[in-house]
Amino acid sequence: MSVPAGLPEPEVLVHTEGRAGFLTLNRPRALNALTHAMVRRIDEALTAWEDDPAVTTVVIRGAGERGLCAGGDIRAIHADARAGGTATEDFWRDEYRLNARIARFTKPYVAFMDGIVMGGGVGVSGHGSVRVVTERSRVAMPETGIGFVPDVGGTWLLGRAPGELGTHLALTGTEAGAADALLTGLADHFVPTADLPALAAELTRLPAAEAVARFARPAPPGALAGQRAWIDDCYGADTVEEIVRRLTDSGIPEAKETATVLLTRSPTALKATLAAIRRARTLDSLEAALDTEFRLSCAALRSPDLVEGIRAQVVDKDRDPHWTPPTLPEVTEAATEAWFAPRPEGEELGLTPPGAESR
């Protein structure tokens, strides 16, 4: 796609080649962080391609060398939260609907999850039908570190990981490399980064399954398989406090380090996240999980921890957030439950009909 001189490049490059439609997230300086306009553009392209017989496969990838997408535009969310605006809720409403659409898309949707894939980046890749990771992949839902909760269907994905691996990733925000992403169900195939251009070329002429099979390789060893025993034991507890106690008392250095990490996260976000992961396991659909996540996200937007977490991690970068309340015992069960409360009439995401949320 050529751009007239003097005009900025589009934030999403959209083009077709052969039998494939390509979506390239194009904000490399911002690690391809999603804006509302980008979400709308992806949705428009999917609408055009879904009924186009010439397009049999969709491919999403990121511009630059650093990754597919680092999430949403955190600075914009911070400014909107401080101002008490509604732009972020409007963005999430369209973003979560896009996540659901990707999961139900009727043609192969191939995600190149190369490099950093976090937050909203998981939302536009992790629900695809063909998810490719590389030796550079760093897949994570790091929301508790900014006073937020896993969204974009993250609770649905992580709630279905083996044992308590998803709980561990959700609470800590730990990055999963290629093997760990495959183990936890966040990805399907490993392809070396150097082979992605050739894979993209093959996708223009071959069915997606056949093209990927030509390049898929065994992934280098990961970390989580060897940590499964203590993760399942410690994260099987009913409360965050008990999880931290088990980690601390385990006698396993890695587990003790993890306890220290958890105690740096927002106590309110930790409790809401644990409850969300456990509830997601009882749900029948991604749509139901997204409906719940929308309630949680909107609650977080009005809480002090999200503004403070983004300030500490992204704006001032002092890495010293002051959470409200500051400790786990001070976050009551009632306070956590309030985050799950239905929103006023007309303000729900509304992807699932009433009464169809859980089995």
- Tokens at 35, concatenated: 């804006």
Strand ranges (DSSP E) for the chain? 12-17, 20-25, 57-62, 67-69, 109-113, 116-118, 130-133, 138-140, 189-190
Contact between 141 and 154 under an 8 Å Cβ cutoff? The reply is yes
Contact between 155 and 292 under an 8 Å Cβ cutoff? The reply is yes
Q: Single out the residue of 244, 214, 32, 20 nearest to residue 110, CA to CA.
A: 20
Q: What is the bridge-based pairing of β-strands 12-17 and 20-25?
A: antiparallel
Q: What's the angle, vertex CA 65, arms to CA 61 and CA 68, rounded to 5?
A: 30
Contact between 148 and 165 under an 8 Å Cβ cutoff? The reply is no
Q: Which residue has the tokens 């300030």?
A: 311
Query: Catalytic positions, please?
Result: 72, 120, 143, 151
DSSP string, 251-263: --HHHHHHHHHHT
Q: Which residues of 295-317 are buried (b: 16+ CB within 10 A; e: fewer)?
A: bbbbbbbebebbbbbbbbbeeee
Kindly report the backbone phi and psi dihedral angles of residue 139, in degrees, each rounded to the nearest multiple of 5, phi listed first. Answer: -100, 125
| Burial label, 180 (beta-carbon count in 10 A; 0-12, 13-18, 19+) | buried
Q: Single out the residue of 55, 188, 74, 189 nearest to residue 121, CA to CA.
A: 74
